Amino acid sequence: MALLAAIAVATPLFATTVSAETNAEEDSSKWYYNQLDVNGKAIYDALSTTDPSITSATVNLPVTLWAKSNIQGEAEELLEASFRKTINLAYDAVRISSPLSFWVWDRSALHSVPNVEREPAEAGYRYVYSLSSATFTLSLDLYRTADADFPGVQKMIEDIRTVVDNFSSDSTTMRGKVLDINNYLTNLITYDPHAGTTGRSIYAHDAYGALAGPSNYAVCDGYSKAFLLLCEKEGIDCVIVLGTEIQDYINHAWNYVKMEDGKWYAIDVTWNDSSGNAYFLAGGETFFASHQEGIYLNTGTPTYDLESPVVSMSPYDPPAISPSILFALITVAMIGGIVLVLMYLQGRRHHRKKHHN
C-alpha cells in the first residue's frame, strides 16, 4: 500500500508587521517575490523582517505539500527536497531584494557589530517534523544565535535608513534621478582596497558597508544593494542581478532599472565608479559583452533559479558620436562640398565655352 505523506501547515510563533518599505507587494522587490509560490512567499515574508529582536520563528505554510511513495523513507526524501527548494528560492529572493533583512546579510558582518562585544552570530534554518501514520508534518524553524535583542544590528539598520532618508534628488526626470543616485554612490563609496584578502571589510557585501560603514568600503554586492535602496526611496523600479564579470570570470553584482518607456536597462554602479559612467542605463548589446547574468562562470553554478528582467538591447541614451567619427564625418562633408563646388565651376566653364562658340 502506498505511503501518503504531506507537509502540513505550521502555526506561526510570532506576528510581525512589515512596513511599506519592505513589503514585497508594494515595492520593486515584487519582481522576484512574485516568482515564488504561496509557501515561498510566506517564507520570504518571515525572512524579510528588519526587526532584529526576532531570533526565531516557525513559518506558517499556506499550502500543504504531498508526496506519494511505496517506500516511507522515499516519501520523506521527496517532501524534504521539495521543501528545501522552496526555502532556497525564498532565501535567494530575499537576498537580492531586501537589503535591510539581517537574515541574509554576510555572515561575517553579523559576527562583528560595531562597538559591541558578543559571541559570533549565526543565522539559518532547520526542519522540525514528526511522522505518525501516513502524515508527515514539517515546519520551518528560522533561528539566529547571539544576544536576544541584537542592539548592534538595530543600530546598523537605523544608520542605513538615516542615509537613505537623507538622500534626495532634485531632478524632475527619471533619468536625472537615476543619474543622481549613481553619482551619489560613486562619490560616497570606495571600492574595498582589501577585497579578496583576509583584511577585507566585513561589511563590504552589504548595504551597511556602502552607506554607513567604516570608510564606506564596499564591493559590488554593497554597491548594488545601496543602489536598490535609493531607487526604492525615489520610486524607481530596480532589481539586483548576480552573475559574472566575463573578462576575469569573477563573481559580480549589478542592477537593472525600469525607465518610463517601460523597458529595463542595465547599470553597474561599481564599474561606473572607475569608468566615468560607461555602464549607465546600458543596453544588452554592449552590456552583455562584459556581463553574464545568472551564472558564476568560474564554477558553472547558477546564481539562483529566478528570472531577471529582460533588458533592452539598445541603450537608454542615444549613442554618442566619438570625436574621431565626428572628425571623419566633417572631413567627408567638406570633401563632398569641395567636389560639388568644383563640379559646379566646371559646369559653368563648359556652359560659357559652349555659349561662346
Give the torsion sign (CA, 22, 26, 29, 30): positive
Measured in whole angstroms, how far is the alpha carbon of residue 292 from the centre of its chain?
14
Contact 257, 264 (CB under 8 A): yes
Alpha carbon separation from 33 to 48, 106, 220, 232, 262 (Å, rounded): 11, 21, 22, 15, 20
Task: Note the pLDDT of residue 6.
Answer: 36
Dist CA 251 CA 293 (whole Å) = 10
Contact 159, 78 (CB under 8 A): no
Measured in whole angstroms, how far is the alpha carbon of residue 126 from the centre of its chain?
26
Task: Note the pLDDT of residue 15.
Answer: 29
Nearest to 186 by CA among 258, 277, 92, 53: 277
Task: Note the pLDDT of residue 327.
Answer: 67
Q: What kind and span of H or E run contains 256?
A: strand 250-258
Alpha-helical (H) ranges within the chain are 30-33, 38-47, 72-95, 107-111, 151-166, 174-188, 207-211, 220-233, 269-275, 284-287, 323-356
Task: Note the pLDDT of residue 246.
Answer: 95
Give the pTM.
0.77
Sequence-distant (6+) residues with CB within 8 A of 111 are: 120, 121, 202
Residue numbers of the chain with a pLDDT score lower than 50: 1-27, 111-121, 132-134, 147-149
Task: Note the pLDDT of residue 201.
Answer: 84
